[in-house]
Amino acid sequence: MTELRVRVGDFHLGPREKEAIYEVLDKGRLSEGPKVREFERQWAAYIGTRHCVATSSGTGALITALAAIKHAKGLGAGRKVLTTPLTYIATSSAISAVGWEPVYVDVDPRTFVITPENVEAHLSGAPDPERYALILPVHLMGYAADMGRLLEIGRRYGIPVAEDSAQAHGTLLEGGKAGSLGYFGAFSFYIAHNIQAGEMGAITTNDAELARLARKLKAQGRACDCPVCVRAEGRCPRLNGRQGDDDYDPRFTHELIGYNFKTMEFQAALGLTQLERADWIVAQRQRNARYLTERLAAYAEILQLPPYSEAVSYLAYPLVIRRPELISRKRLRRELERLGIETRPLFGCIPTQQPAYGHLKAEYEGRLPNADYLGRHAFYVGCHQYLQEADLAYMVEAFGRILGRLG
C-alpha cells in the first residue's frame, strides 16, 4: 500500500493543544464544565449569535435542536422537514430520530446545495405545506445555500429555516456567517472538519427559548439550567425557592424527556485552540483551493472544478467527473491513491443510494438528477491548512499524469 502524501484532512497535536489537554487534566474536571461554557461563549461570538449550546456531536446538535423546536412549537410526530438529499446521513437521520420525515429537493450541480427554486417549486405544489415544520438546507463543503431567498420563501409559507452548518465553519453569506441566519445553526467539530475537537457539536441561535430548551434537552431535560447546576458544583440557588423540601434536587428532576448529548472539557479545550486560529485556517484552505482551481483548469473538460470564492470556508476540494466514459470516479480515485493522494467519494444521494433510506428509493427514482449524478461521480481531495505548496504542486502533477494520458 502506497504511503499517503496528501491526506483529505489532518490534525496537528502541537504544544498549544497539549497544553490545553494538560490544563484540563490539572483542573481535574473532565465532564462538561467551565471550558465548555468558554467554548460556547467564543463560538457564539465567532458565528455572531446570541446563544450557543455545545453538544457531544453534530448529530446530537441536530437532534437536540429539532426536539427543541417540537417543544417550542408544540409539534408532534409525523411532521415533514424539507432538506437536501446530498449530505452526510446525519442530517436525515436526526430528522427521523425525532419522529419527523425528511423530504428531499434537488441540489445545484455546482455548489451541491438545495436551491430556492426547487424549494419554492416543491412547496407551491405540495398538498400539505402546513405539515412542514422546517426547511433545513446544508451548507455542503463550505458552499452556502441562499439563505436570504430561503428565509423569504419560509416567511411566505410560515415555515422556519435552519442551517446545517457542520461543513461551513466561517463561510460568509450576505448578512452574516453560516449558522447565524436561520432559526438555528448546527455545527460539528468532528476531526475531519475545519475547526476540530475530535468529537463535538454546537447549536447556535438568536432565539433564547430555543437555546433554553436545547440546554435542557441535551441534559435529560433536567429541571435547572442555572450555571451552578450546569457545572454540577455547589448548591443550586433556585433550591431556595423550594426550601423546606430538602429532597428536591433540580439536577435530578426532569421536566422534559431528553437525551444525554453533553460533551467533555477536553473537546472544548481542543476546539478553543483551533478557534484561536480560525481566520488562518479558513485563509489557508482558500489559498489552497484557489491554487488547485487555477492549476487544474486545463482539465476542466473532464473534471468539474469547485468555483472559487473568498466567502467559502472550504471543507475539502470537491471534484466531479464530467466525462465518465473517459475516466470513472473509481479509476481516478484508485490512480490518485496509488500516487499517495487520499480521496473520498462525495455523499451518496440519500433516498436513492443509501440503503438506510432504501424504503424511499422508488418514490424518488429519477426525481433528483443532480444529487444522483453527484452521488455517483463526485469525490474530494484535501485542501487543508497543513498542506505546503510542494504538496499542492505534487497534486497538480499527479492529476496531470493521470488525465494528460486521456487526450
- Least distance (Å) between residue 229 CB and ligand PLP: 26
- Least distance (Å) between residue 186 CB and ligand PLP: 7
Sole binder of ligand PLP in the list 49, 59, 115, 171 (CB under 6 A) = 59
Task: Extract the C-alpha cell encoding 10.
Answer: 489532518
Closer CB to ligand PLP, 49 or 188, in the complex: 188
Closer CB to ligand PLP, 91 or 118, in the complex: 91
Closer CB to ligand PLP, 59 or 194, in the complex: 59
d(CA 137, CA 116): 10
d(CA 346, CA 194): 17
Q: Does 349 bind ligand PLP (CB under 6 A)?
A: no
d(CA 65, CA 283): 30
d(CA 156, CA 231): 42
- Return the DSSP state at 260: B
Instruction: For residue 353, give every residue at least 6 positions away whose Cβ sits within 8 Å of its Cβ, in sequence order, or none.
Output: 372, 375, 376
Footprint of ligand PLP on residues 125-184 (CB under 6 A)?
138, 164, 166-167
- Least distance (Å) between residue 61 CB and ligand PLP: 7
- Least distance (Å) between residue 14 CB and ligand PLP: 23
Task: Extract the C-alpha cell encoding 106.
Answer: 434537488
Q: Does 87 bind ligand PLP (CB under 6 A)?
A: yes
Stretch that binds ligand PLP, among 32-40, 83-91, 242-250, 374-382 (CB under 6 A): 83-91
Sole binder of ligand PLP in the list 88, 100, 104, 299 (CB under 6 A) = 88
Q: Does 354 bind ligand PLP (CB under 6 A)?
A: no
- Least distance (Å) between residue 254 CB and ligand PLP: 24
d(CA 134, CA 237): 37
In the bound state, the residue with its beta carbon closest to ligand PLP is: 58
d(CA 106, CA 364): 10
Task: Extract the C-alpha cell encoding 289.
Answer: 483551493
Query: By C-alpha distance, which of 214, 268, 208 is closest to 50?
Result: 208
Q: Residue 156 belongs to what H/E stretch? A: helix 147-157
d(CA 400, CA 404): 5
Sole binder of ligand PLP in the list 49, 83, 91, 385 (CB under 6 A) = 91
Footprint of ligand PLP on residues 191-220 (CB under 6 A)?
201
Query: By C-alpha distance, which of 143, 71, 127, 120 is closest to 135?
Result: 120
Q: Does 33 bind ligand PLP (CB under 6 A)?
A: no
Stretch that binds ligand PLP, among 85-93, 176-184, 250-258, 355-363 (CB under 6 A): 85-93
Q: Does 90 bind ligand PLP (CB under 6 A)?
A: yes
Q: How many residues bind ligand PLP (CB under 6 A)?
A: 14
CB-based contact 198:66 (threshold 8 Å): no
The helices-and-strands tally (H runs, E runs) of the chain is 15, 13
- Least distance (Å) between residue 218 CB and ligand PLP: 13
Task: Extract the C-alpha cell encoding 55.
Answer: 453538544
Instruction: For residue 295, give every residue at least 6 positions away whose Cβ sits within 8 Å of its Cβ, in sequence order, or none.
Output: 392, 396
- Least distance (Å) between residue 200 CB and ligand PLP: 7
Closer CB to ligand PLP, 57 or 274, in the complex: 57
- Least distance (Å) between residue 257 CB and ligand PLP: 21
Q: Say whether 190 sits in a helix, a strand or coil.
A: strand
Stretch that binds ligand PLP, among 87-95, 302-310, 363-371, 386-394 (CB under 6 A): 87-95
- Interface residues toward ligand PLP, by CB under 6 A: 57-59, 87-88, 90-91, 138, 164, 166-167, 188, 190, 201
